[in-house]
Structures are given as C-alpha cells and as structure tokens.
Amino acid sequence: MEANEFVVRMEKITKIYPNGIAANRDVDFTIRKGEIHALIGENGAGKSTLMKILFGLEQPTDGTIYLNDERVTLSSPLEAISKGIGMVHQHFMLVSSLTVAENIVLGMAPKKGGLFIDYKEAVRLTREYSERYNLFVEPDARVADIAVGMKQKVEILKALVRGAQVLILDEPTAVLTTQETVELFQELKNLKEQGFTIVFISHKLKEIKELTDRITIMRAGRSVGVYDTDSISEQEISRLMVGRDVVLKMDKPESVPGERVLCVEDLHYINEWDKKMLDGISFSVRQGEIVGIAGVEGNGQRELVDILFGLKMPDSGDATIDGQSLIGLPQARIRTLGVSYVPEDRMTFGVAQTANIQENMVSDRYSQKRFNKGPLFNMKSLYDESDKLIMDYAVLCKSRAQEVGMLSGGNIQKVVVAREFSSDPILIIADQPTRGIDVGATELIRNKLVELSRAGAAVLLVSADLNEVMELSDNLIVMYNGQIAGYFDDGQWDDLMMGEYMLGLKRQSDEEIRRACHA
Amino acid sequence: MFGQFFQTIFQADFLFIIIRITAPILFAALAAVISEKAGVANIGLEGMMMITALFGFLFAYWTQSWVVGVLGAMLVGILLGLMMGFFSFKLKTDIILSGIAVNMLGTGGTIFLLYMFTGLRGNTGALVSPNILIPTIDIPLINKIPVLGEILSGHAILTYLAFIFVFILRIFLYRTPLGLKIRAVGENPNAASSVGVSVTRMKYIAIAMSGALAGLGGAFMSMYYSQGWNQGMVAGRGFIALAAQAMGRGEPVGAMFSSLLFGLAQAMKTKVSGLRGMASYNYLIEMIPYVVTIIGLVFYAMSIKRKARRHQLKPIKEKLS
C-alpha cells in the first residue's frame, strides 16, 4: 500500500508551553486506517499533549498534521470533530442531570416543529447507534444514575454519532472494573472490524499486548519508536518506556527496626456508595523501617491513608501512635503526636498555591514560640527557617517570596516534603510522594525518606509506582480489594510476583498476613 | 384586632393583591432562574429592575405608548445583561462584582439619569398619564364567576404574562435545543464545549434573557404597580427574587411558588399596616416580607442539607457514636 494508508500523519510535532516546558519535541506519529494503535509512555511523557493537539485542544508550536494526506490545521475540537476525529477523555465530558440520549445529541439535537427538541428522535438515534456498534446504553437513564462503564459507552457513542472515524481513548481502562474492561475490549475490536481507527492511550502493558496492532512509545516528549505489537515483548516496551533496563537499586543501609510506632488494628471502612473499601486491615510500622503499600489504585489505599490522617472515620477498628488512638482526632492533634503527611494531591492538600514558599514551609509550625515575638511573627527566624529548608531540599526558586503555584511540580513537592520531613516526625505517611515529578526531585525525596527512616522515623509509603515501593521498602504490604493480600519482609520480591498479588491472583495465608502486625 | 385581621385576609380582594404583588417578584425570579441555569449568578437583578423601570417609563412617556415602554424596558434589560456579560465573560471580572456594579448603577445612576432627561428629582409623578400605564384586562367568562372572577380577572396584562412565562420558560429550558445547551453549559461547561457548544455564547444568551425578564419586572413596577417611577420603588425585590430562585430549586415552577409565598408576605404587610391601631408598629410590620425571606431560605438550606445527607457522606461525628 502507498502513503494514503495513513489516516493520520503528524510530522515533527513540537509543543513548547509558554512557561518553557517542552511537552513534545519532533514527534512523528502515524496511524493506519483500521488499526488499534497504542500510545504508551510514563506520566508526563507527552502522549496526552500529542493527542490534545490532534483533537484541536492545543496548537502545536511547530510541525504539520495530515488527515488522509491532506494538510490540516485543527484549531478547535469542533474542527477536529468535523474532520472525523473523536476523543473519549479520561474524565468524562457528560452532563449528569441530562439523560443519555440528551448527552449524545447535545449541540446537534434533532428538532421538530422547527423549535422543539425531538426527544423521540434523539432516543431513536441513540438506539440505532447503540445497536449498530454493539454499545449497549439506556437512552432514557439519567447519566448521574448509570455506571462508569456505561458512561464510557455514552462517550464513545457521542463521538460516533458525530461522525468520528478516528477514536482517541485516553486511558479508558483506568476507571473500569475487570469485567467492564473485558467488555470494552470486545467493543473496540468490534469497532475496528467495522473500519474504525482507534488510538489507545495506556500504560498497562498487558492490555496493550492484548488489544493493539501497533504501538508508539514515548519518553520525555519524544517518540522512541513504533513497533508492531506482536514483534515486541513487554519487557522491551517497558525498557523503552522507562529508558533503563533494570530498576535502579537504591543503596540503602540495613534497617534495624525498633519499637512499634503505628499500629493499625482491624480497620473497616464502607464508603458512601456502600462499597467495602477496607475490610479488616491490620499491620504495624516500627521505628527505622519503611513499610511500603503496593496495590492497584482503588483497592483501599486512599481510604487507609485518609483514616490515618484523620480525614475519614473508619466504621470499626483502631489505629494508634505510640499506643494513643488517633481515630477521631483533628489533623492538628495528629501532627502534634509526631505524624507527618505527604499527600497524594499536593495542589489541594499539600500547599496553598497562592501563598509563597516561605509561608508554605512554616504553615505547620508558625505558632511555635521561636517564630513569634509577642503578638507578631519573628520574621527573621521565619526567613532563616525557610531559607535553610530551601537549601536543604534544593528547591529551585527565585526567592522564598515566590508564589508556590508558579513552581514546577517537582519543586512544589520539594516544598511539601521539606516541611513534612523537617518537623522531627516519628511517623511519615508518604502517599505517592514522587508521582508526576522530575527525576531529580524524585531521587532527592527517596533519599530523604531512607535517611529519615535510618535515623529512626517510621515510614509508611503508599505508591502506585511499583518500582518505587519495591526499591524503597524494607517490608512490603500488597493490598487487594480492601484487604492485605500479602506481607513480605525478606526483601525477595519482583514485579511478577507483586503483580500476582496486586491483581488478586494470589493471596497469602491468614497466618502469613498476620505477620504484618509485629508484637 | 385579630378578628379584624382575619376579616381582611379572608377576602377575594386579598388574593387579588397577592397575585398583583407577586408578578414583579416572579419576573425577577424567572430572570434569576434562566441565568442560574447557565451557571451565571445574576446578582444585579435589583439594579436591572431600577434602571429598566426608569427607562420603561421614559420610553412610554416620550412615545405616549405603554407598549413601547415595555419593549424599551426589555431592550435596556438585555443591554444591561450583555454589559454584565461583557465585563465578566470577556474582561474576566467576577460576575458578582459586575452584578454589584449594576446594582449601584441602579441606585445612584437612575436619579441622575432621571434628572438629566426630565429635570425631575426623585420621582416621575408629574409625568404620569393613563396612556403610559399598563392597562388591566377583564377576562371574559371568568370575570362572571363569583369570587374566582374577582381574584383572577382585572389584572394588568403583564401580571398574566408573568405567570404565562413560567410555563414558557419551562418549555424553553426542557424542550428546546437552546434550553438544553444552556443547561449543559451551566452544569458542566467542559462537557458542553467538548461537543462544540460555545459556553460563552450560551452565557450571553442566558444573561440577556435574564435582563429582558428583569426589564418586564421593572416596567411592571413603574408603569403599573407604583404608577410612576420613584427612587425606593424596587425595594429589594431583585434580592427577594434570588431567594425565590434558590428556594424554588432553580426551576421555573418552583420559583413561582416561592414568589407567591413572598407575595403573600408583602400583601400581609400591606394589609396589616392598614389596620386600625397598627401605626405605631409600622417598622415592625415593614419587616414581614424580609423575615419571611429569611425563614424561607433557612427552610431551603435545611432541606438541601437533609437531601445531601441522604446521598452523601456520613458525617464524622455521627459515625463515631
């Protein structure tokens, strides 16, 4: 076949944001008609940006786009839609109070009498597409009442009804249950048979191997290769994605666990949709050790951390710090017990974005005597403290007076970590401490965690980054479905074995799991 | 005294007054409903009513036609709405601030404009003539029914229009493509724009319609209710309307019932203050509509909370015990 087998051809796409960050550099990306094409890369590798450019949400700084060999500029999603490109966003773009049919025809509603919505026609249209493409939805149901899997189908139908030939799916399986994922794959294969072209963004290797025909791997804003999915192994994909063959081993001194600091006993938590999120979790963390919690996101880690830091109330069970229960205590009290907390969502819970670095760094300690002089702050000691922390944690900034929101992600996290790690904590709860930040900041944070634990702090590390927990942890807990599926204290673990526990294929005996609670 | 009170209340005349008093609140409440549906908090209703009341009257006076006056008031309302939109959607001021600006324009600016256009200070009493007042109509057949006829017939044309608009607005919001788009924009702008609906345009349309409805309310006030424009005429109706919108859950029919409740409170105030021996309680009586507004809002907030509790989080303390 000649050149026109490509429905989409993006050449030398470069995208540099006004703040100087280059999200894409000279990326070539082509999609063949009728294939399922995987776009894979770590967080921040530039795959979302590339797809936003293709969908008209972002304008490339440089480069050209061809659709069916015709050069185009896509200045808005509307234009992309009219040229046959549809996108299913990770966060659904649906209006909850409207029905499925209303969402599908929004902006192009069929009319009757020239004035009114022909709702019957909208329902008919929904049914027609739903049946033709085997995407079962309930046209009359309100979107607020339907399950996530169906919402996704509504999104796909929205694109199809608007004449999409190329469908971009941004991490579609992230929100789905296993069963829903199986269904989705069936539907996507079905769409492919009917001649549609699909771009599948993901970082789940297994799914990519199962579903896709070709694969483009991105790393650090560049494309590092295009392969036929069959011709490349998962190991190779992962090597290209991460850019290193093996997980870099951290040189960390032997851990010498001391007294129990945190003790969690039989925690149960049922969420507001009556789903059992924690189902009898018990473990302890001792001085001088890092206990990692691995698991696929959504298996109760979020709820566990929230309970430990007083953001949620468990339905039953207890958690104690040095023997004192922290259930029901306000955060300020929990902090005075010596608990530090690096939250997953740093922009909401970690920093006040419009406050400056200095203010953020002392926000947990400004009431201490040494920072006050009568009714006023002792500015000098506040400044000294923050300057010291900026130095210690190598925060890249113009000055301590710079607004935190203006910093890069890595430096914002350094501000959070500098504050949390410098309050002499006896327990550090670090929730995804290095997610989405640069390598330098990641290294620094990991080293500090090890350093603090060796100095006697107890560290509870929750991370979806398997490499991270495997590297850093002295002991490792795997959570699955609100329970502990396995406890490992021998340092002998690898990702294959972790995977089996994380996905619920394996579970230790109750006896073995009970070891997570040290006497 | 109470006997006298109930005697006044249980009369057809009283229900007639409620309807009459409700009409301007209802116009403004519907104005609040439409803009809120698009996610635009139109806090400038009070000022919009003041200004449109003045211009409605002036247009009517200049042309000696109440129809032109009403249309003029609507036009000015639309322009005010677009102006608020321009400041907020284009120049990115907070919509609350542009609303406050319109309100201040309403209190201060109108007196100035009145003086500029007519040389009059404070009110237009001198210019009133029957031509420029909105006429009342007797509804055939209904006006023959005893009691009911007395209540329903003989209102101003705009009074009927206010209640008709409740249903027009409902149909507009729920049965037309434009209404669908406006609701989508108010609830999830990202979803709307992802399918090519222009969020800004929908917001402009909604606030312009809001202005037009506020204009009808304003015209009703100066060209019928107070028979001429005067400074303190709108007397918080724009704010009461916001309360009516909230209490009515943002729906046209709900807003109508809340407006009727506030109308009832106003009518009661009027009646009670007319009773013998009440003169010394004048200021107390003046409070009735506002107290009812506050009580109404409290009940509204409570019901919302109860609803939220049923769906949402089990509050921390409750779970503990």
Please report the DSSP string for A398-429 in residue order: S-TTSBGGGS-HHHHHHHHHHHHHTS--SEEE
- Contact A107/B187, CB-based, under 8 Å? no
Instruction: Find the residue in B nearest to A81 (Cα).
Output: B195
- Quickly state the pLDDT bin for B307 (edges 50, 70, 90): low
Task: Please give the mean pLDDT across all residues of chain A.
Answer: 87
Residue A517's identity, in one-letter code, is C
* Residue bearing the bigger pLDDT, A61 or B273: A61
Give the tens place of pLDDT for each residue, B246-260. 888 899 999 999 999
Whether B314 and A116 lie within 8 Å, measured CB to CB: no
Q: How far is A119 from chain B (nearest CA, A)?
A: 8
- Which of A86, A144, A99 is CA-nearest to residue A126? A99
**Of A109 and B4, more confident:** A109
Q: Is A455 exposed, middle or buried (0-12, 13-18, 19+ CB in 10 A)?
A: exposed
Q: Which residues of A touch B184 (CB under 8 A)?
A: 95, 98, 106
Q: Do A328 and B320 touch (CB under 8 A)?
A: yes
Q: What is the residue range of B151's domain?
A: 2-320
Q: Which residues of A touch B171 (CB under 8 A)?
A: 116
pLDDT for residue A502 is more than 80: no
Contacting A with CB below 8 Å, chain B residues are: 171, 175-177, 180-181, 183-184, 187-188, 190-197, 311-314, 316, 319-320
- With bands split at pLDDT 50, 70 and 90, how would you rate the model's confidence at B1? low
The answer to whether A92 and A155 have CB atoms below 8 angstroms apart is yes
Determine how many CB atoms are found less than 10 A away from the CB of residue A490: 7
Average pLDDT estimate for A79-97: 90
Among the partner-chain residues B177, B187, B316, the one whose CB lies closest to the CB of A109 is: B177
Q: Is the dihedral of CA B138, B142, B143, B148 positive or negative?
A: negative
Interface test with B, best of A55, A57, A88, A93 (most B CBs within 10 A): A93
Query: Which letter, b or e, does each residue of B75-100 get, where b requires 16 or more Cβ atoms within 10 Å of its Cβ?
Result: bbbbbbbbbbbebbbeeeeebeebbe
At A463 the pLDDT is 85
A106/B181 Cβ within 8 A: yes
User: Rounded mean pLDDT of A100-114?
Assistant: 91
CB contact under 8 A, B177 and A328: no
ipTM of the complex: 0.81
Q: So what's the pLDDT on residue B304? A: 66
Radius of gyration of chain A (CA): 25
Render pLDDT for B41-93 as a digit per residue (tens, 0 to 9).
Answer: 999 999 999 999 999 999 999 999 999 999 999 999 999 999 999 999 999 99
For residue B166, the domain's CATH number is 1.10.3470
User: Based on the number of CB atoms within 10 Å of its own CB, is B136 exposed (0-12), middle (13-18) or buried (19 or more)?
Assistant: middle
Upper half-sphere CA count for residue A318 (Cβ side, 13 Å):
7
Burial class of residue A85 in the structure, from the number of CB atoms within 10 Å of its CB (0-12 exposed, 13-18 middle, 19+ buried) = buried
Which whole number is the average pLDDT over A386-407?
87
Quick one: pLDDT at residue B61?
94
pLDDT at residue number A249: 60
Query: What is the rounded CA–CA span in Å between residue A318 and residue A325?
Result: 7
Element holding B102 (H helix, E strand): helix B95-104
Q: What pLDDT, on a 0 to 100 scale, did the predictor assign at position B13?
A: 84
Q: Do B181 and A111 touch (CB under 8 A)?
A: no
Helices assigned H by DSSP within A19-170: 47-54, 77-82, 100-105, 119-132, 148-161
Per DSSP, which regions of chain B are E strands?
A: 136-137, 155-156
Q: What is the pLDDT of residue B200?
A: 95
**What's the structural domain count of chain B?**
1
Test B320 with A81 for CB contact under 8 angstroms.
no
| Inter-chain touch B195–A328, beta carbons under 8 Å | no
pLDDT of residue A3: 45
Burial of A81 per CB tally in 10 Å (0-12, 13-18, 19+)? buried
Cβ contact A111:A117 at 8 Å? yes
Rounded alpha-carbon distances, angstroms, from residue A468 to A103, A250, A414, A500: 41, 10, 17, 17
Listed residue (A283, A286, A288) closest to A308, CA to CA: A283
Q: Do B320 and A97 touch (CB under 8 A)?
A: no
Residues from chain B that touch A95, judged by Cβ atoms under 8 A, are 183-184, 187-188, 191-192
Q: Which residues of A touch B191 (CB under 8 A)?
A: 92-95, 103, 106
Q: Which two tokens stand for residue A426?
A: 């006896």
pLDDT at residue B222 is higher than 60: yes
Better-predicted residue by pLDDT, A481 or B296: A481
B279 or B171, which is more confident: B171
Chain A residues with CB-CB distance to B177 below 8 A: 109, 111, 117
Tell me the pLDDT tens digit for each residue of A139-174. 999 998 888 888 999 999 999 999 999 999 988 887
Average pLDDT, chain B: 88
Mean pLDDT within B113-122:
88
pTM of the model: 0.74
pLDDT band, very low/low/confident/very high, at A51 (cuts 50, 70, 90): very high
